[in-house]
Amino acid sequence: MAPNIQTIGIANGGGDCPGLNAVIRGAVRSAILGRGWRVIGIQDGFDGLIWPERTMPLTVESIAGILPRGGTILGTTNRGNPFRYRVDKDGKKETHDYSLICCENARKLGLDALIVIGGDGTLTIARDLGRMGIPIVGVPKTIDNDLSATEVTFGFDTALHVATDAIDRLHTTAESHGRVMVIEVMGRNAGWIALHSGIAGGADVILIPEIPFTIETVCEKLRERAATGKKFSLVVVAEGVKLQPLDPEGNPFPAPRPGQVGILIGDAIHKLLKKDVRITVLGHIQRGGSPSPFDRILATRFGVEAIELIARGEFGRMVCLRAGEIESVPIDEAVGETRLVNPRGSMVRAARAVGITFGDPG
């Protein structure tokens, strides 16, 4: 039997991502215009469930104009796990379990259902709050595109456009000066942004966490290019690449933070090749700004389908994209499994076929 829904909540958690506002808009418009429900926005991840004054009514009027806006009108945090909430007390860190308070406040706010938009961490929290009684529906989100249950996450396409545009720009200046350009892109565990933007931007070398590499093999490729008269090269690096045993002098690299990886690799190339190397770290530029048309459409479809799931009472499920269609899977199945690049898959094979090196023996 379809549940009797009057009021729903929407929360988003973890890092922001272009398209979050488009999901919110899709869900709010569909809930209000199509179903006559009331919608409450939960601010700053799950904080709005711990402190209900951090909630806001979402109406068709209040969300006007947010479709092309980056970021999220709800605010977000990746430090707000209500099951292990860290607080500062008298200069000391304490950890509190606020999950019961969240359930209690969801009831006080009159939420008949809660849409949670997030990546792996946020959806795991959502699943656990669901087990405690809050009727939850999930929407996957990450620019890294590494959630196993969905073919694509919104935000990825926008990040890919930013990264490809950056590589194109670096290409022309690299060519003018005959330099090696190292470009670090995001991708904590998976190399999707590096792989796609590297192919799209005509990179010579792509380094991703899924394919172990050596600096010597990378430099060998750059030497080969120089020998055929190509004075410049483009090296695209995912921030999550494993560097530990790869120092040319045998010293372990210190465990690098995102933003340092490109620098370490660029320095190592310079040391070995004695060539002019320049390093660009794209960082959060990939996460900011207006979502691409693809991401706006996908996010809208996800938001609308979340409402459909609630209307059918299909709680504990997450919307996803499969073969171009919007479907859903149990949140439990969706979390915990990272979708990595297959080193023997067709995308990597296509890259190798056009001469791109991954820094491995091949």
Residues that bind ligand F6P (CB under 6 A): 15, 78, 142-144, 186-188, 239, 258, 287
- In the complex with ligand F6P, the residue whose CB is nearer, 37 or 192, is 192
- Distance in Å, CB of 20 to ligand F6P, minimum: 13
**Residue 56 CB coordination number (10 Å):** 16
- In the complex with ligand F6P, the residue whose CB is nearer, 210 or 239, is 239
Surface-to-core class of residue 224, CB atoms within 10 Å of its CB (0-12 exposed, 13-18 middle, 19+ buried)? middle
Q: What is the DSSP string of 84-111?
A: GEEEEETTEEEEE--HHHHHHHHHHTT-
What is the Cα–Cα distance from 269 to 280, expressed in whole angstroms? 14
- Distance in Å, CB of 112 to ligand F6P, minimum: 31
- In the complex with ligand F6P, the residue whose CB is nearer, 143 or 321, is 143
What is the Cα–Cα distance from 223 to 207, expressed in whole angstroms? 17
- In the complex with ligand F6P, the residue whose CB is nearer, 179 or 196, is 196
Residues acting as catalytic residues? 144
Q: Which residue is nearest to ligand F6P (CB)?
A: 186
- The percent of the chain in helix, strand and coil, each rounded to the nearest 5, is 40, 20, 40
- Distance in Å, CB of 78 to ligand F6P, minimum: 5
215 vs 9, 219, 227, 267, 268, CA distance in Å?
A: 50, 6, 18, 10, 7
Nearest to 317 by CA among 27, 53, 115, 49: 115
In sequence order, what are the residues at sequence separation of 6 or more whose Cβ sits closer than 8 angstroms to the Cβ of residue 49? 9, 11, 42, 82, 101, 102, 105, 106
What is the Cα–Cα distance from 313 to 43, expressed in whole angstroms? 24
- Distance in Å, CB of 143 to ligand F6P, minimum: 5
- Distance in Å, CB of 16 to ligand F6P, minimum: 8
In sequence order, what are the residues at sequence separation of 6 or more whose Cβ sits closer than 8 angstroms to the Cβ of residue 276? 177, 178, 179, 180, 270
- Distance in Å, CB of 159 to ligand F6P, minimum: 8
- In the complex with ligand F6P, the residue whose CB is nearer, 225 or 287, is 287
Helix axes 20-29, 293-311, angle to 10 degrees: 40
Nearest to 286 by CA among 165, 181, 170, 180: 165
- In the complex with ligand F6P, the residue whose CB is nearer, 143 or 215, is 143
